């Protein structure tokens, strides 16, 4: 069941999936639990019933073809400069947003970007994060999980001289991790922006950025073969 009704604003969904991947070859269309990886995110977006359009930004013809097969929309090919290792995520999403408004001749109030490499999210994560975003009137929102390591307790850094120290030491020593300020690991699952923010801001971290917390078991972002194997195992258990 979706949040949206006829009185709600217009929301665009983007899924950005480039062809090049150093960690896992053809990662975005590699089969996982019997389907291409990108399928799971397209399916979640469709089941949310939140979006007017689900747009794929890709430089790869195979990703484009497979995405269309599963009902997503691909009406442009991402420029090469937007598909390099150095291309910034916000710039790529902004590019897709601008192209979508032009193509559909529509202005969208919000954009939700779903990362294809985070297939363990559930539809309720999409719906509830968007609901939280609206209720709190955030400019943008990111998702994260409670961190397993704390910069105040057991995350360390080594400076140029070789000195080892806590990443964020406090004036009073912390003897238990539970006593440290809460910290979170971004899980690269869901990003939400207001229209004027995605068009004009270059940073994810703003004065009014919201944070939606997800459990660790739904927060794995596939970067390596080990991530892939772990996610595949969890999907077999959960689906």
Q: pTM for this structure?
A: 0.91
CATH of the domain at 119: 3.90.550.10
104 and 174 in a single domain? The answer is: no
Beta pairing class for 209-213 and 184-194: unpaired
- Whole-angstrom CA distances from 209 to 29, 109, 113, 132, 205 are 31, 17, 15, 12, 6
Per residue in 46-72, pLDDT (tens digit) is: 999 999 999 999 999 999 999 999 999
Q: Which of 165, 182, 199 represents a domain boundary (last residue)?
A: 182
- 3 located within any domain: no
Per residue in 15-30, pLDDT (tens digit) is: 999 987 777 889 999 9
15 and 29 in a single domain? The answer is: yes
Residue (of 218, 212, 148, 142) closest to 180 by Cα position? 148
122 and 216 in a single domain? The answer is: yes
- 5 located within any domain: no
Residue 93 DSSP one-character state: H
Q: Residue 20 has what pLDDT? A: 74
- 6 located within any domain: no
224 and 154 in a single domain? The answer is: no
Enclosing domain of residue 62 = 11-144+184-238
């Amino acid at each position: 069941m979706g949040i949206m009704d006829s009185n709600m604003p217009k929301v665009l969904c983007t899924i950005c999936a480039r062809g090049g991947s150093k960690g896992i070859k053809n990662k975005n269309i590699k089969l996982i639990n019997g389907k291409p990886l990108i399928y799971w995110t397209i399916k979640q977006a469709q089941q949310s019933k939140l979006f007017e359009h689900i747009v794929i930004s890709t430089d790869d013809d195979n990703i484009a073809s497979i995405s269309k097969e599963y009902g997503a929309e691909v009406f442009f090919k991402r420029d090469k400069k937007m598909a390099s290792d150095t291309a910034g995520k916000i710039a790529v999403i902004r590019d897709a947003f601008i192209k979508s408004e032009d193509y559909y001749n529509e202005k969208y109030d919000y954009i939700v970007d779903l990362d294809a490499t985070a297939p363990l999210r559930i539809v309720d994560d999409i719906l509830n994060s968007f609901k939280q975003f609206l209720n709190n009137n955030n400019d943008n929102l990111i998702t994260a999980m409670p961190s397993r390591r704390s910069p105040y307790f057991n995350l360390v850094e080594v400076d140029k001289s070789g000195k080892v120290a806590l990443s964020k030491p406090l004036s009073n020593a912390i003897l238990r991790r539970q006593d440290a300020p809460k910290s979170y690991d971004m899980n690269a699952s869901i990003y939400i922006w207001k229209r004027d923010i995605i068009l004009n801001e270059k940073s994810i971290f703003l004065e009014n950025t919201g944070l939606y917390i997800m459990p660790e078991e739904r927060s794995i972002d596939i970067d390596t073969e080990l991530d892939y194997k772990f996610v595949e195992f969890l999907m077999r258990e959960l689906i």
